Every structure is written in C-alpha cells, then in structure tokens.
A and B are shown apart, each in its own frame.
Chain A
Amino acid sequence: MLTCILVAVCIFTSSDSLTQQPETHKEYTGQLVASGLLSAGFGISAAIFHTRSNQVYEEYQSSTTIAQALERWDRVRKFDLYRNVCIAGSVLFLARFMYYHMKQGDEPTSTGFVPCLDIQYTCSPKISIGLQRHL
C-alpha cells in the first residue's frame, strides 16, 4: 500500500512539473515544500515502523513456543518492509528536495539582468560587453 502511495505521489509531482511552463521561483518553492513535507512524513513513518518492529522483535525473542516465534517473526518482517519502503520514500523526496534547493540557489535572486560576455561572429568578429536579461 505504501509503495502504491509512493508511486502515486511520484507520478503526481512529476506530471505536475512536466506539464507546466518554464519553472519560476514560486514553483520551486512549491516543489521544495512538497518534497520536504513528504520526506519528513516518510521519515516519521519509518521511525514509527522501526520502533514497532523493535517492539515486536523483543516479543519474538521472548517467545516460548514455535508458533509464537514464527508468527512474531512474520510481524517483524512486515514492519521491517514498511520501514524500508518509508526510508526509500524519505530518501527519494529528500533528494528531490535537495535538487530543487540547489536549483533554486542557481537562480538569480535580486535582478533579472546579469553581466555577460557576448561574442558575435559576423564578417568581422567583435566582442561586446554589457548586461543581458536572463530568460
């Protein structure tokens, strides 16, 4: 179920970015917030499942019958699987968060004009230095 949620969220966020026009400052912020929240959510879920898994593992270790031991080990495996899926989700969205964070850092912050070196090749090459608006 968690895997389905993870995949659904990935598709949703990916399609969101694909269909939109060139990214702007505001869209990066949205991606950042979404990725950060999802990463934190998966991280918290992973911690909860990890704690639960450890509790069941302690019960497993104190099992006194074969049936108990097998049943509790199955539960340990189940919680471990959920935890690992959550960790994977958390890492995925953390990476996404870091990516947009760095991408946002590359964007101009105060002005749309940046210094540039413009080399134009014509019949007689000339170099012009000035300000060019960043698209």
Chain B
Amino acid sequence: MKKVLLLVCFMAVIFSCHERNNIFDVGADDFVPPPHITQLILYRLYYDTQDSMLVGIRFLLPCTEAFERTLPITHRLYFSNTVMLVEHTEEVPSGTWAFYVEIFGPYEVGMYSLRHYFGGLPIGAGYFGVVPGPVGLTVEGVDEFEYCTWSGQDWVCTVYY
C-alpha cells in the first residue's frame, strides 16, 4: 500500500509541472518587455517606374533601448486613424536597437498611422501624411529619403535631400 501511495504522490507531483513559459505572459519568470518605439523615420520610397505611383515605404524604427530577447512585434498601418490597411508581425532579434519595416501600398493622399504592438499591447506609434509631390505622391515633411524605382531586376535607389 505504501508503494501505491508513493506512486500516486509522485504522479501528482509530476502532473503539476506546468510552467509559465509564454513570452507574452507577464507573470512568467523569464518575461522580458520590449523597448518602446518612439520614432518613425522615413527611409525609402518605392515608386512604380512607369506611372511614378508610390507603391511602398520603408520605415526605420529606432527603439529606446536594445531588445533583451527575440520578440514578435506586430505593425498595423491605419488610414485616417480608422481603417486598418495591413497587419504584419515579425520577430525582432535580441540586441536590436533599430529595425526597418517595409509596407507596400498602393498609397493614396491622406493621413496614415503606423502602430506597433507587443502581444496586443501598444508599444509605439508614428504618423505620416501622403501628399501630392512633383512626381507622383510623396510623404509630407520628409527632407531626406531614398527614391527607388524598379529596374527590371532590382530596385535602384537614389538619395534625395
């Protein structure tokens, strides 16, 4: 009988071995929060070669500090703060201070917001406006960026000041 009791107790202990190991679980011992993303820096504008339409934007996202752990970050692009156009989740490796995200349109004239989430919790956001430019559409208030067009094999980028 003693053996049976010991076996049952052992099984009870074994069965109780659920660990809190989800990276989104704030109660887990190894939980590490991501750094905040405070800025939205325009890095590149991609244009269609034929009709000079703005087809994509690359954003540089600097963080307040380096990522202590590889974490999934979700980006959501909103148009006029109401309509979610696209959602993209990516794994940001540990040690990253800044990373970029490319979002391809097509874009139209208006205000956009790019919001960043970790596990459904907002960790940063940035706003930008798309306005008519000298050649097609451009982004408002940006002085320096790369203008990229498709050459047939690769993107050819020119730096603009």
Contacts and interface: CB of A to CB of B under 8 A. Distances in A.
Contact of A69 (B5, B18, B22, B72): B22
B109 interface: no
A64 B8 contact: no
B15 A69 contact: no
B120 A95 contact: no
Interface string A103-115: 0000000000000
B26 A66 contact: yes
Interface in A57-90: 57, 60-61, 63-70, 73, 76, 80, 83-84, 87-88, 90
Given A69-B119, A83-B15, A91 B25 contact: no
A98 B8 contact: no
Interface residues of B, number: 22
A91 B9 contact: yes
Q: Which of B1, B21, B26 has the most CB of A within 10 A?
A: B1
B15 A98 contact: no
Interface in B127-147: none
B18 A64 contact: no
Interface string B3-14: 011001101100
B25 A50 contact: no
A6 interface: no
Nearest to B23: A69
Interface in A29-66: 50, 53, 57, 60-61, 63-66
**Does more than half of chain B's interface fall in helix, strand or loop, or is it mixed?**
loop
A70 B27 contact: yes
Interface in B1-50: 1, 4-5, 8-9, 11-12, 15-16, 18, 20-22, 24-27
Contacts of B27: 70, 73
B22 A84 contact: no
Contact of B120 (A53, A57, A65, A73): A65
A91 B8 contact: yes
Nearest to A88: B12
Nearest to B120: A65
Contacts of B1: 95, 98, 102
Contacts of A76: 18
Interface of B: 1, 4-5, 8-9, 11-12, 15-16, 18, 20-22, 24-27, 72, 118-121
Interface of A: 50, 53, 57, 60-61, 63-70, 73, 76, 80, 83-84, 87-88, 90-91, 94-95, 98, 102
12 contacts: A61-B22, A63-B22, A63-B25, A65-B120, A69-B22, A69-B25, A70-B26, A73-B25, A73-B27, A84-B15, A91-B8, A94-B8
